[in-house]
Amino acid sequence: MAGASFADSNMSGANLSGVLAEGVFLEGVDLTNAVVVDADLSNANMGGAILSGCQSHRI
């Protein structure tokens, strides 16, 4: 996912397990009820992202 832009996207229920989000732009993304397991989001821009109900493990 390097350098991808998902700004203001609706990713409700998305499964982002194992994702390496190097330089990914997730500002304003709706991740309601998404599953995020073993993902590296340390270099993702997530300002204003909606994470309600998001299941996150080992990020």
pLDDT tens digit sequence for 5-57: 999 999 999 998 898 888 889 899 999 999 989 988 888 899 999 989 888 87
Q: How many domains does the chain have?
A: 1
Q: CATH number for the domain including 22?
A: 2.160.20.80
Domain that includes residue 22, residue range: 1-59
Supply the pLDDT for residue 59: 61
- Please list, in sequence order, all residues whose beta carbon lies within 8 angstroms of the beta carbon of residue 22, skipping any fewer than 6 positions away: 1, 2, 3, 40, 43
| CA 36 to the chain's CA centroid | 7
SS (H, E, C) the chain: CCCCECCCCECCCCECCCCECCCCECCCCECCCCEEECCECCCCECCCCECCCCEEECC
Residues with Cβ within 8 Å of 4's Cβ and at least 6 positions away in sequence, in order, are 24, 25
